[in-house]
Amino acid sequence: MKFLLTLFTFAAISTTALADTGHGHGGDAPEPSRTIEIKAGSMWFDPDELRIAPGTTVRFRIENTAMIEHEFSIGSEQMQRMHQEMMQQGGGHHGGDGQGNQHGDMSGHGDMSGHGGMKNASVTLAPGETKTLVWTAPEEGERIEYACFLPGHYEAGMKGTVMLNPGS
């Protein structure tokens, strides 16, 4: 019985925490300084390369223009590989709110592993859906990419890179 109570409590807290699609901020999260429009189409993102100043908080407005579901996941290459493995094992959409909002440990402001303070974020979009996601670029470090890790999408080229550029 104690296990069921613990499980119920965790599920209730997780659903509330994961339902945010980047619209709100925690008390200490910076306001986005710019909005970047992203279109997710049939195995592509437009644009497929972004320049963002280190430490900048941006709001992504992602529109799925395709007739199939897509996701937008952004983070370091290492974090993305971990997310890709999770998705391939069928763990991708089971951690969200049941509406395809955010999934796994990759909430809009979450740090998936604590690795270097790199923040990863991910949202899933139904065909024709538009969502926003807020993310802060790291001050320095690894190469950053955004991708769709639904089965076969990344392999078909559905990915992009973020160049950390102080002048952006």
Bridge pairing between strands 130-136 and 144-147: unpaired
- Compute φ and ψ for 68, nearest 5 degrees: -130, 165
105-139 pLDDT tens trace = 343 333 333 334 456 799 999 999 999 999 999 98
- Which of 73, 38, 46, 87 lies closest to 147, judged by CA? 73
Amino acid at 8: F
First to last CA, the chain: 54
- Compute φ and ψ for 32, nearest 5 degrees: -60, 140
Which segment of 30-39, 53-62, 92-101 scores lowest on mean pLDDT? Answer: 92-101
Q: How many Å apart are CA 109 and CA 158, to the nearest integer?
A: 23
- Which of 58, 74, 3 lies closest to 25, judged by CA? 58
118 or 89: which leads in pLDDT: 89
Between 2.60.40.420, 3.20.20.70, 3.10.20.30, 1.10.10.10, what CATH number should domain 2-22+31-164 receive? 2.60.40.420
Q: How confident is the model at residue 47 (pLDDT cuts 50, 70, 90)?
A: very high
Q: How many Å apart are CA 140 and CA 55, to the nearest integer?
A: 8
pLDDT > 60? residue 148: yes
Q: How confident is the model at residue 61 (pLDDT cuts 50, 70, 90)?
A: very high
pTM of the predicted protein model: 0.69
User: What is the pLDDT averaged over residues 74-87?
Assistant: 85
Q: What are the Cα distances from residue 24, in Å, to 13, 21, 33, 92, 115?
A: 17, 8, 14, 23, 24
15 or 131: which leads in pLDDT: 131
pLDDT > 80? residue 11: no
Give the H or E element holding residue 95: none
pLDDT > 80? residue 63: yes
pLDDT at 124: 96
Is residue 125 within 8 A of residue 50, CB to CB? The reply is no
Domain ranges of the chain: 2-22+31-164
Amino acid at 106: M
Amino acid at 77: E
